[in-house]
Amino acid sequence: MKQLAFSFDVNRCTGCMACVVSCLDQNDLPGGAVSFRHVTKLEQGTFPSAKISFMSLSCQHCGDAPCLMVCPTGAISKRDEDGVVVVDRNLCVGCYSCVLACPFGAPQFEYGTMTKCDFCHARIDSGMVPACVSVCPTHALGFGPIEELTKATKEKASVTILSSLLTAGSR
């Protein structure tokens, strides 16, 4: 299985939120509180040397997904071919256990059941790229098999792969 992951270059991200909106457009979401991708701002220091950075985050499709572990109905699963974490909304009872489990704030609720970033797997299956990655004006957002992304990090210190939960553990 070639686990897919997002890559993110914090030095390139301007906080423009094109990624957030293209995801809303792709998935017909209302926006506001219900959004698969979030951009948050980090301010460090004070005048005259303050720095403002941004972070774009969605579901990280963790190798050892805590949402999957805590889901009581088995609604959440990982795809065999690429590790994309998907939810079967027909099995979801809206218990919100996944909301407490996810450190990234990925699970969203709409019509009482959970929904979230699905890595645009339908697009990927057809050789296209996820909506958020395709629009990013400064190419701060990327994606790919995690082994390839790891190689790229070694060349560029600022590329962060959010693999905090990609531990080797049982599925």
Partner 1 sequence: MKQPGLLILGNGGAAIHAVSAARSAGYEGEINQVSDMEGPAFNPMLSPYYLKGIIPWDRCFPFGADFYFKHDVTCHFGSAVEKLDPVNKKVLLKNGRNISYDNCLIATGARALVPPVPGLNESGRIFTLRTAQSAKRLEEIISSAKKIVVLGASLVALKVTEILRKRGVDVILVVRSGHILRRSAHPVSAVLLQDYFSKQGVDIRLECSLKGLDSYGRGVTCRFPDSIIEEGDFVAVCTGVEPSVEFLEPGQIEMDEAILVDEKMKASVEGLYAAGDVCQGLNLMTGKRELLGLWGNACYQGRIAGLNMAGVVDAVHHGTIPQHVSPFFDWKYGQLGDVHRHGENVRILSGGDPEKEGFYLFVFDDGVLVGVNLINRFQGAGRLKSAIFRKVDFSDLVRGGFCPSYDEIIDRISFICI
Partner 2 sequence: MNNKPALSPEDIRVGKVPLEGSGIEIRKTICDICNPQSHCGIDAYVKDGVVIKVAGTKENLHSAGTLCSKGAASRQYIYNEDRVRTPLMRRGKRGSDDFEPISWDRALEIISSRLIKIKSETGPESVLFYAGYPKWMRPLLKRMAHSFGSPNYMSESSVCSIAQKLGQRLTYGVASGAQPPKAKCLMVWSKNPFYSNTAVARKLTKVIEKGVKIIEVGPLTSHLSKHAHIHLRIRPGTSGALALGLANVIINEGLYDRDFVEKWTEGFDAYRAYVMEFPPSKASEITGVPVDLIEKAARLYATSKPAGLMTGSNPTVHHTNGITNHRLLTALIGLTGNFDIPGGNYVKFPGYLYASNGLVTRQSEFSQSRPWDEMAPRVSQDTFPVWCKMEPEAQAMHIPFQIQSGKPYPIRAMVAFGLNYRMWPGSDFMQKSLKMLDFLVDVELFMTDSAKLADIILPACSSFERSELKFYSSPYVIWTQPVIEPLWESRPDNEIIVDLARRIAPDDSLLGSGHEACIDWMLEPTGLTLAELKKYPGGYPLKDVPQPPYKKYEDGGFKTPSGKMEFTSRILEEFGMDPLPRYVEPKLSPISTPEIYKDYPLILTTGARLPMFVHSRTFRIPWLKGLRPDPMVDINPKDAKERGLSLGDPVSLFTPRGAIQVKANPTELVPPGVVNMFHAYPEADVNTLIEPDYLDPISGFPGFKALLCQVKKLSK
CB of 170 to partner 2, least distance (A): 12
The three-point CA angle 96-171-147 to 5° equals 110
DSSP string, 124-159: HHTT---HHHHH-TT--EEEEEHHHHHHHHHH-TTE
Distance CA 25, CA 17 (A): 13
CB of 126 to partner 1, least distance (A): 31
- Max intra-chain CA distance, the chain: 54
Residue from 5, 20, 29, 57 touching partner 1 (CB under 8 A): that is 57
CB of 29 to partner 2, least distance (A): 8
From the list 22-30, 68-76, 77-85, 131-139, the region that binds partner 1 by CB under 8 A is: 68-76
Q: Report CA-CA distances (Å) from 143 to 6, 9, 94, 132.
A: 4, 11, 30, 10
Q: Which does 24 bind (CB under 5 to 8 A by kind): partner 1, partner 2, none?
A: partner 2
Residue 137 in the binding site for partner 1 (CB under 8 A):
no
- For partner 1, the closer of residues 31 and 94 by Cβ is 94
Structure tokens that stand for 142 in this block: 């990327």
CB of 14 to partner 1, least distance (A): 16
- Residue whose structure tokens are 């686990």: 3
What is the binding site for partner 1 (CB under 8 A)? Answer: 33, 38, 40-42, 55, 57, 66, 69-70, 72-74, 91, 93-97, 99-105, 107, 160, 162, 164, 169-171
